[in-house]
Amino acid sequence: MTVTTSTPVHKGIGGSPLRPDGTLKVTGEFAYSSDLWAEGMLYGSTLRSPHPRARIVRIDTSAAAAMAGVHAVLTSADIPGKKTYGLIADDCPVLAIDEVRYHGEPVAVVAADDLDTARRAAKAIVVEYEVLEPVSDMRRAAFDAESPRVHADRADNIVRYQPVRRGNPDAADLQDRVAVVVTREYEVGMQDQAFLGPESGLAIPTEDGGVDLHVATQWLHVDQEQMAPCLALPPEKVQLTLAGVGGAFGGREDLSMQIHASMLALRTKRPVKMVYDRRESFFGHVHRHPALMKYTHAADADGRLVYAKAQLLLDGGAYASTTDAVVGNAASLGIGPYECDDVLIEAYGLYTNNPPCGAMRGFGAVQACFAYESQMDEVAAALGMDPVEIRRINAVKEGSILPTGQRIEGPAPLREILDELVTMPMPPEPSLPEPGEPEPRTRVPGERWELPPGGYGNTTRGEGVRRGVGYGVGIKNICYSEGFDDFSTARVRLEISGGEPIASVHTAAAEVGQGLVTLQAQIARTELGVDHAVVLPADTQVGSAGSSSASRQSYMTGGAVKTACEAVRMEVIELARRKFPELLSDDESWSDIHLADGALHLGAGVATGARLLARLSDVLGTDVVEATREYHHRRTNPLDPETGQGDSHVQFAMAAHRAVVDVDVELGLVHVVQMDVVQDVGKILNRLSLEGQIQGGTAQGLGLALMEEIQTRDGLVRNPSFTDYLIPTILDMPPLNMRILEFADPNSPYGLRGAGEPPTLSSTPAIVAAVRAACGRPLRRIPLRPEQIALVEGYGDEGGEEDV
């Protein structure tokens, strides 16, 4: 297998044409969901629970309803249809029913003439609660039979338990080979997607009694599917159009204000707009599952893994959301991209009264990755081995068998990725100021940006600064797994306008910033040989595209657009054959016709002697050719509930990072000096968009390593603001050097691999490993806190056992 390089086609696949939405986004005209406006519209507001767990004794809406300018005050009693919804299990109340199960759960909604009135009215609703003891410790939720149950109708607090058993890690004959055994516990805090555009949308009642909702979401059709029964409407009376999306990262996969605004619009017969403020946004969407993980890795003297055991607890919070699938990922990818024949992984997704958790970039694979990569470093250290070498020795490759029994089909070039990574240049060594030289923070920025850890706040002369280098590798499943058919649909139309052929592409796929609109047009240009391709607004007037998640849209909606283009192309050729049968001689075949440069050619390219047959404008005339196609990935299978065996995943993608950090070991502060990343993407479809995904994914992994955590105490969220929930600024983000490999996947469109998530996985453990190398502390909980690095021995690492 060789590394290939792309030859860019003008504005087609492999090129980097400008985003079609770019002009609107730089002129301020792009309409985000929070910018929408309709004549006569009302504003909605939500009353949320102040308690993580309480019984609702009484709700009195009379004072709120009597306020001037208030048009509706609705509680669960007013839900027109089904009172609960959910992506996998429908256990989440539209508005709290008799009980609240997390801090911030919606209890009532209000519509009023303006936002201030709506908020005041929400505050005027009287709710009498009987406060109950919350289930806030996921260990108790999992294993304490005395723990209260979050959902009284369930036998326990376990959303899903998924073991994966391969071989027998306890087999006596394995022990002879074991040179080291490392058992450690790890913890991951609750990360937030922190998209900048708040949850928002505009619901407009229609004349036929339905509702049109303009909303920022990741999957229009799954919103529709969940909304319609709750609104007691047939799905066709609930139409959705994608409004401008200000980032998503998984946080818009679950419903937020969709049903609430629609209920209010149906009740008031007026358009209703809802926009969360930042505080409400922290309560208004699910987060990344916090995790407690206990791992044992055993290796032989050469560093080869002999067996591995892992127990992962994932805190799903009050409602199921996508916890089921997150558990499936954590279990099936639990020891990462390494070969090991004797494995036991046990993954639990739990109900607690903490904030609900669901999808965030990396989806279950992120938490496991932090643990298994930390373990690989521990094993290497115990053996005195190089951290890259131990990963090379154990790396999966094409044909490797994962713990689930699934064989990796197609390239799995982890060794090639690592070999590339170690050739990348390192930054210059840090230097302490000489006596008499100014302290680092006052240096005039020179060639390179080198603030000390802590930036301008660091008043030392850098005496406590130590440099560290660390590595991280991640493996992510692409597309939905475990038997789910997450197909996508595309409608492609080709016609002549102003003498020029124009392709228009219509899908329901959500552009959330990743650049899917650019890619759809690139595919249409490449497949139809036209210059002008238009991507129509995404809505529910065309079939489902599935979600903009799981790094799947290039694969799935890309595949659908490609397939629909192929159908259009065949019809165009058929049209040519009917209209101009004389174009080809008897020994030439219509199946050898290609579309390029707005014309039909015999043969694949001008360079190979292709012959121009006819312009598309002549072939089409006033005819319009249109095709709608669904694209399905190959079938997958559920994991066996007892053994965890099954071909559960469609495709795998891998990335590796190297992080270089400066750590002030006395102050506990970290400055990431440089990061390097290598990722295999199968095929580069759009280099600019791809690089943007890898850069952004790396930054979010950096955030999880160093700063991002929703902090809860007894179920109460303590930091719902950007003052207290920190995300990386540009001063936190180091230079990122990147190498991209193209080992084509024979089964995917163009050979591509989904690319958005893998860099989020590997970034985090690389940074933490680098900080460990600098400060010599175990650091088994993320995000890292200064006190873990600098203060009391073992602080924040209570769970970790010492060397076994």
Partner 1 sequence: MQVSINVNGTDYNAEVEPRHLLVRFLREDLRLTGTHWGCDTSNCGTCVVLLDGEPVKSCTVLAAMASGHSVRTVEGLEGPDGLDPVQQGFMEEHGLQCGFCTPGMMLTARALLDRNHDPSEEQIREAISGQLCRCTGYLNIVRAVRWAAEHQARAQTESPSQSETAGV
Residues lying near partner 1 in the complex (CB under 8 A): 16, 18-19, 21-23, 25-32, 34-35, 37, 193-198, 244-249, 277-279, 445-446, 449, 512-515, 688-689, 691-692, 695-700, 721-723, 727-731, 733, 735-736
For the bound state, the minimum distance from the C-beta of residue 286 to partner 1, rounded and expressed in Å, comes to 17
For partner 1, the closer of residues 355 and 696 by Cβ is 696
194 vs 414 by CB, closer to partner 1: 194
Between 194 and 669, name the residue whose CB sits nearer to partner 1: 194
Closer of 140 and 687 to partner 1 (Cβ): 687
Between CA 213 and CA 76 the distance in angstroms is 21
Smaller CB distance to partner 1: residue 292 or 510? 510
CA dist 705 and 785 (Å) reads 9
Question: What is the closest distance, in whole angstroms, from the C-beta atom of residue 359 to partner 1 in the complex?
Answer: 16
Q: How many CB atoms lie within 10 A of CB 446?
A: 7
CB 796 within 8 A of CB 785: yes
Angstrom distance (rounded) from CA 125 to CA 696: 42
Please identify, using beta-carbon distances, which residue of 184 and 285 lies nearer to partner 1.
285
Are 508 and 561 spatial neighbours (Cβ–Cβ below 8 Å)? no
Q: CA-CA distance, 627 to 575, in Å (whole number)?
A: 14
What 8-state DSSP symbol labels residue 19? P
Q: State in angstroms the smallest separation of the CB of 6 from partner 1.
A: 17
Number of helices (H) and strands (E) in the chain: give both, helices first: 17, 31
Beta bridge partners of 664: 465, 669
Contact 546, 557 (CB under 8 A): yes
Q: Which is nearer to partner 1, 243 or 325 (CB)?
A: 243
Let me know: does 79 contact 307? Beta carbons within 8 Å: no
Both tokens of 569, joined, read 């192309």
The DSSP element (H or E) to which 534 belongs, if any, is strand 532-535
CA torsion through residues 781, 787, 793, 795, sign: negative
Nearer to partner 1, 239 or 760 (CB): 760
Q: Nearest-5° angle of CA 754, CA 541, CA 568? A: 65
Residue count of the chain: 804
If the CB atoms of residues 24 and 804 are measured against partner 1, the closer one turns out to be 24
| H-assigned helices in 646-722 | 687-706
Residue 710 DSSP SS3: strand
Among 104, 146, 7, 109, smallest CA distance to 683 is for 7
Count CB-CB contacts under 10 A for residue 28.
Answer: 7
Q: How far is the CB of 104 from partner 1 (least distance, A)?
A: 16
Q: Alpha-carbon Rg of the chain, whole angstroms?
A: 28
Pick between residue 323 and residue 698 the one whose CB is nearest to partner 1: 698
Dig out the tokens for 620 from the structure: 């089409």
CB of 689 to partner 1, least distance (A): 7
Question: To which residue do tokens 């924040």 refer?
Answer: 796
Considering the complex, state which of residue 116 and residue 803 has its C-beta at the smaller distance from partner 1.
116
Q: Which is nearer to partner 1, 276 or 338 (CB)?
A: 276
Tokens of 202: 């505009």
- Tell me how far, at minimum, the Cβ of 503 lies from partner 1, in Å: 22
In the complex, least distance from residue 244 CB atom to partner 1, rounded to whole angstroms: 8
Helix axes 258-268, 220-231, angle to 10 degrees: 50
760, 315, 235: which is closest to 540 by C-alpha? 235
In the complex, minimum distance from the CB of residue 519 to partner 1, in angstroms, rounded to a whole number: 13
Phi and psi of 418, rounded to 5°? -65, -40
Residue among 51 and 285 whose Cβ is closer to partner 1:
285
State the CB neighbour count (10 A cutoff) for residue 485: 12
Strand-by-strand arrangement of the 180-188 sheet: 158-166, 343-350, 305-315, 291-299, 180-188, 781-782
In the complex, minimum distance from the CB of residue 119 to partner 1, in angstroms, rounded to a whole number: 13
Minimum distance from residue 612 beta carbon to partner 1 (Å): 33
Q: Measured from the CB atom, is 532 or 687 closer to partner 1?
A: 687
CB 729 to partner 1: min, Å = 6
- Alpha-carbon 587 to chain mean position: 52
DSSP SS3 for 12: coil
Q: Round to whole Å and give the CA distance between 761 and 704.
A: 10
As measured in angstroms, the least distance from the Cβ of 735 to partner 1 is 8
Instruction: Tell me if 490 sits within 8 A of 505, measured CB to CB.
Output: yes
Residue 588, CA distances (Å) to 528, 572, 594 in order: 21, 17, 13
